[in-house]
């Protein structure tokens, strides 16, 4: 199973990503977590990403594309994976398709957690584990970028990728959201 999960900041991507990875027994590739770890460890990737992540900006596509390509060529992702937080731009989505074509693999589903903007803002404020990029002005920037750069991917996965999109209302309980995703995967 090969999945990507899309949603604004605070949409619940991490929670659903963990549940889905457990259920399908696939490795989780959480780009946000990888970047935060790389920044803390001051690796080359971390040093490149730090100024962007701190401001809520997107790390440049070329850096991300190269990283994801290398990550999906590792042996543990050979038979499936879930990408959390990737792709976030049309360019990243197209490059992911090129890579998958090249590997003769295909994406099974793009899962979109649909949560209204005011709820996203509130959730980032209330997050138990506060992140430095959860400050209100930075959350605002992350939501703007999500609307401008990532929302267009919904159309991409719905129409250009032959109905690969699963869209779920993200205001239900985590378990209800998870069950709805599973039902859609099984019935489509």
Half-sphere exposure of 10 toward its Cβ, with a 13 Å CA cutoff? 27
Backbone angles phi, psi at 78, to 5 degrees: -65, -40
Smallest separation (angstroms) from ligand AMP to the CB of 24: 20
Q: Is 13 annotated as a binding residue?
A: yes
Q: Is 58 annotated as a binding residue?
A: yes
Smallest separation (angstroms) from ligand AMP to the CB of 183: 25
Minimum CB distance to ligand AMP smaller for 77 or for 179:
77
Q: Is 85 annotated as a binding residue?
A: yes
Binding-site ranges for ligand AMP (CB under 6 A): 9, 31-32, 35, 52-53, 56-59, 64, 85-88, 92, 133, 142
Helix residue spans in the chain (DSSP H) = 13-24, 31-40, 44-55, 61-72, 90-102, 117-126, 136-145, 152-155, 174-187
Q: How far apart are CA 60 and CA 72, in angstroms?
A: 19
Minimum CB distance to ligand AMP smaller for 67 or for 178:
67
Smallest separation (angstroms) from ligand AMP to the CB of 68: 8
Q: Which of 109, 100, 40 is nearest to 65 (CA)?
A: 100
Minimum CB distance to ligand AMP smaller for 71 or for 108:
71
DSSP state at residue 133: G
Annotation: binding site for AMP: 36, 57-59, 85-88, 92, 131, 142
């Amino acid at each position: 199973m090969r999945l990507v999960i899309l949603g604004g900041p605070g949409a619940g991507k991490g929670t659903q990503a963990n549940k889905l990875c457990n259920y399908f027994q696939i490795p989780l590739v959480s780009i946000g977590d990888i970047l935060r770890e790389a920044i803390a460890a001051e690796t080359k990737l971390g040093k490149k990403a730090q100024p962007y992540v701190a401001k809520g900006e997107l790390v440049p596509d070329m850096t991300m594309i190269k990283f994801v390509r290398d990550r999906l060529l590792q042996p543990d992702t050979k038979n499936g994976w879930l990408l959390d937080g990737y792709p976030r731009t049309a360019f990243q989505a197209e490059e992911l398709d090129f890579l998958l074509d090249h590997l003769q693999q295909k994406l099974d589903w793009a899962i979109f957690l649909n949560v209204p903007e005011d709820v996203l803002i509130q959730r980032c404020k209330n997050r138990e584990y506060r992140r430095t990029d959860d400050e209100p002005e930075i959350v605002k920037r992350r939501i703007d970028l999500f609307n401008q750069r990532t929302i267009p991917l919904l159309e991409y996965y719905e129409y250009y990728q032959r109905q690969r999109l699963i869209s779920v209302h993200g205001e239900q309980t985590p378990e209800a959201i998870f069950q709805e995703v599973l039902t859609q995967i099984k019935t489509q």
